[in-house]
Amino acid sequence: MDLGTVIGLVLIIVLLLASMAMGVGLGPYVDIPSVMIVVGGSIGALMISFKPAQMKSFVKIFMIAIKPPQEDVAELIKKLVEFATKARKDGILALESEVNKESNAFLKKGLSMAIDGSEPDTIRELLEIEMEQTSTRHKVNGSIFSQWSSLAGAMGMVGTLIGLVAMLMNMADPSAIGPSMAVALLTTLYGAVIGNVVGNPIANILAIRNDDETKVKEMILAGIMSIQSGDAPRVLEAKLLSYLAPNERVSQFD
């Protein structure tokens, strides 16, 4: 679980609720018409903007931001170095039994093609296509939240206009001005909260998750190409460590 994302969300919500409670209490900030306009309206607009299959994955995509799949990069580099050592010693076919038990689907696919004798250019092309398509899907999924941010803000403005029209139409009745003004202001508040607490931050962290996954796959691809070409394990490790920050580079040969 990504504690930074969880702590950030909880912190924002607690601070917002506490500041409301310290003022006039939480009750005045709850307005059903405003919720219907902003939350219901923005979700309805999202359903128009994206395919049903993408909307079904809404919660799953949100959970990736909270609890992303973890890849131990150091352990992955160690494994690739061991594969390279064995391939140099016994030939690449000797990796078949270990590759069949490999849990990383991308690594398993690439090494299986190498063991089957596929050309390096073919392996690289197929794996790069898979990387590109996976990244594209992740970007579309992340755009659901950035789009939700925009739509919630827009629906907040729509709610504000609805509230103002209702207020102006009932100027002769002072008792009707307050509820209409509440709708006008609270819809803007709800839209801003959705956009700045959930929408944009989640979209941004999902983009970071996508970049991290792509980098790991690029590293795996470099490792597969190096193993197939028969590079020395030390050379392969040097290539893979270059994908890490300088302070994270720990060689097995030192």
> Does an H or E element contain 163, and which?
helix 120-169
Same domain, 134 and 25: no
Domain count, the chain: 2
In the DSSP assignment, the letter for residue 70 is P
- Radius of gyration for the chain, computed over Cα atoms and rounded to the nearest angstrom: 26
pLDDT tens-place values along the chain, 254 residues long = 778 888 999 999 999 999 989 988 888 898 888 999 999 999 999 999 999 988 988 889 998 888 888 888 989 999 999 999 999 888 898 898 888 888 899 999 999 999 998 999 999 999 999 999 999 999 999 999 999 999 999 999 999 998 888 888 877 777 777 778 888 889 999 999 999 999 999 999 999 999 999 999 999 999 999 999 988 899 999 999 999 888 888 888 76
Same domain, 48 and 19: no
Same domain, 24 and 40: no
Same domain, 13 and 92: no
The domain in which residue 7 lies consists of 1-29
Question: What single-letter amino acid sits at 91?
Answer: G
Residues 225, 177: Cα–Cα separation, whole Å = 70
C-beta neighbour count of 165 within 10 angstroms = 12
Q: What pLDDT is attached to residue 254?
A: 64
Tokens of 60: 């799953």
Same domain, 13 and 138: no
- At residue 78's C-alpha, the angle toward residues 74 and 82, to 5°, is 170
Same domain, 38 and 50: yes
